[in-house]
A and B are shown apart, each in its own frame.
Chain A
């Protein structure tokens, strides 16, 4: 099983749609979880951290299911500007070890 797995997409959705991405991770002891966004030919940037209780930032909601070892990202009322690749990122191992990045899910929001 890969350490962090994501559906590569692409997800093509119309403006205003709701879209959800899932990500699974291999190590049940993982402690830190994030979603990063990467625009075409740009560097990744932190979108939001994922907390055990779930968290929301405007149109974006992130949830963590430790029992099933998956993380989700929900985008409501999609905008053209949401078109990007979304990377699931996990601190797979304990201690100060590097984060592990998923390969990303590509989203295209269409007018």
Chain B
């Protein structure tokens, strides 16, 4: 039982390049989330999903797209990376009940130059 895993762990992109971050969970959780964390800003929700095939915008969705084609996977895409997207990205999942514990992946450290 690996919990929540994220791929890759580190990445450096040039401005304008694209990439996809992969999040996978093996706990059969319904809900999945993508956050970014910047110094002094705390965790900010980018997009989330309440089930396979559904996604919704969070607090800071601009510049990102997501897909949830399979229940266990949640993909975060950057179509044209910008230096402002340099951040640590965390994925999380939880059971259907939002009052339950959120489990986080180890994070992806992304630098856009």
Contacts and interface: CB of A to CB of B under 8 A. Distances in A.
Interface of A: 8, 31-32, 34, 41-46, 49, 87, 91, 95-99, 101-104
Interface of B: 31, 33, 35, 40-43, 45, 48, 50, 58, 90, 96-99, 101-102, 104-107
A46 B43 CA distance: 14
B102 A103 contact: no
27 contacts: A8-B40, A32-B99, A34-B101, A41-B107, A42-B107, A43-B90, A43-B106, A43-B107, A44-B43, A44-B102, A46-B101, A46-B102, A87-B42, A87-B43, A91-B98, A91-B99, A95-B98, A96-B96, A96-B97, A98-B45, A98-B58, A98-B98, A101-B35, A101-B43, A102-B42, A103-B40, A104-B42
Contact residues of B: prevailing secondary structure: loop
Contacts of A41: 107
A32 B90 CA distance: 22
Contacts of A104: 42
A102 B50 CA distance: 22
Most chain A C-beta atoms within 10 Å of own C-beta, residue among B42, B97, B106: B42
Given A96-B31, A98-B58, A43 B105 contact: yes
A101 B36 CA distance: 12
A91 B42 CA distance: 16
Contacts of B106: 42-43
Closest A-B pairs by Cβ, 8 of them: A103-B42, A43-B104, A32-B99, A101-B43, A96-B98, A46-B101, A44-B104, A98-B48
B12 to A, nearest CB: 17
